[in-house]
Homo-oligomer: A and B are copies of this chain.
Amino acid sequence: MPDARPAADVLALPDVAAIRAAAARIAPHVHRTPLFTCRSLDAEVGAQLLFKAENLQRTGAFKARGATNAVFSLSEAEARRGVVTHSSGNHGAALAYAAARRGIPAVVVMPDNAARVKLDNVRRHGATIRLCAPTPAAREAACAEVERETGAVLVHPFDDPRVIAGQGTAALELLEQASDLDVVVAPVGGGGLLSGTAIAVRSSSPATKVYGAEPANADDAARSFRSGRVEPLPCAVTLADGLRTTLSLRTLGAIRGGVEAVGVASEAAIVRAMRMFWERTKLLIEPSSAVPLACLLEGTLEVRGARVGIILSGGNVDLDRLPWQS
């Protein structure tokens, strides 16, 4: 997506030093989440799986890392004017949380058809919500209006080096907690988490491969990975609503540079993986978090015999209706 910034900025990525700096910056504000293992899931997949539980992260998702790094990277003058973003999901709550920790205002632009549970989650963390029509144009116009009115800094959900550096801290921790990983798998939507993961793993553990995982019904990242262009989303719907986003030029660059493969999972496999994970581990994960396991169960990512770190992206689920309930 070309914009008014110079090309170099559009492609700029954090290096591992920036990810380490982010880790130090956000440490007082986020959890060092634990790893979980489960022998019966290992037996299902035929591999040794280590799950990084970002579902237990503050605000219920890894997004707290990137948002906190962005907010605490602002100068005093910038911070005073507050932050703004558009998000119908976890990034909005994460930015609200981070802004509250720094004591600055946050505005989250949300579509006027957003689920009540998502509105509540953003409001609970103290942000102001600005509703707009559920289109990209309306969303960008509303963000620009807030920027103009208040001077607030836009913190994009993924297309921002500070956000990518923050997301990369999850993989950095994972590598500290578990040595000798053959593979790390992360879900991919806009690509912030996968980009940060690729950069962290390439530098800290070059022998470890990085895989992305996404729904077959939103396989734009797999196609972009192959074509080298930012491919559009297909029209199909997916349960893993957190992954219904295209890459940016920036995240595509990071992923093409540091990721070995992007696997896709059917909707049926995502539901099966999510339920199996709940039953076997007693940990709640949202559909997007089940996509890597779904790829392993369907065999679209091959990890047999390997030692595999999997980043569980989040645990914010609508408990009124579960995907396996008709």
The CA of A324 and the CA of B315, in the complex, are separated in Å by: 19
A55 adjacent to chain B (CB < 8 Å): yes
User: From residue A326, how far is it (CB to closest CB) to chain B in Å?
Assistant: 10
Q: Which residues of B contact A281 (CB under 8 A)?
A: 56
Complex formed: what's the CA distance from A35 to B282 in Å? 14
Nearest neighbor of A282 in chain B, beta-carbon distance: B315
Q: Which of B275, B284, B321, B325 contacts A278 (CB 8 A)?
A: B284
Cβ proximity bits A251-284 to B, threshold 8 Å, 1 near / 0 not: 0000000000000000000000001001101111
**A282–B319 touching, CB < 8 Å:** no
A319-B315 contact given A60-B282, A282-B55, A282-B56, CB 8 Å threshold: no
Task: Check if A17 is an interface residue, CB within 8 A of chain B.
Answer: no
Copies in the complex: 2
Residues from chain B with Cβ under 8 Å of A319 in the complex: 275, 278-279, 322, 324
Residues on B with C-beta less than 8 A from A234 are none
Please tell me if A9 contacts chain B, counting CB pairs below 8 Å: no
Interface check A34, CB cutoff 8 A: yes
Nearest CB on B from A77, distance (A): 31
Apart from A279-B319, A282-B285: 20 A-B pairs, beta carbons within 8 A: A34-B34, A55-B282, A56-B282, A60-B282, A275-B319, A278-B284, A278-B319, A282-B283, A282-B284, A282-B315, A283-B283, A283-B284, A284-B284, A319-B322, A319-B324, A320-B324, A320-B325, A321-B325, A322-B322, A325-B325
Q: Which B residue's beta carbon lies closest to that of A286?
A: B282
Nearest-Cβ distance from residue A118 to partner chain B, whole angstroms: 13
Q: What residues of chain B lie closer than 8 Å to A284, measured between beta carbons? A: 278, 282-284
Interface residues of A (CB under 8 A from B): 34, 55-56, 60, 275, 278-279, 281-285, 315, 319-322, 324-325
Closest approach, in angstroms, between the C-beta of A256 and any C-beta of chain B?
33
Q: Which residues in B have their C-beta under 8 angstroms from that of A34?
A: 34
Q: Which of A34, A275, A278, A279 has the most CB of B within 10 A?
A: A279
A121 to B: closest C-beta gap in Å: 10
In whole angstroms, how far apart are the Cα atoms of A285 and B55 in the complex? 16
Cα(A1)–Cα(B279), bound, Å: 37
Complex Cα spacing A322 to B318, Å? 12
CA distance A233 to B88 in the complex (A): 49
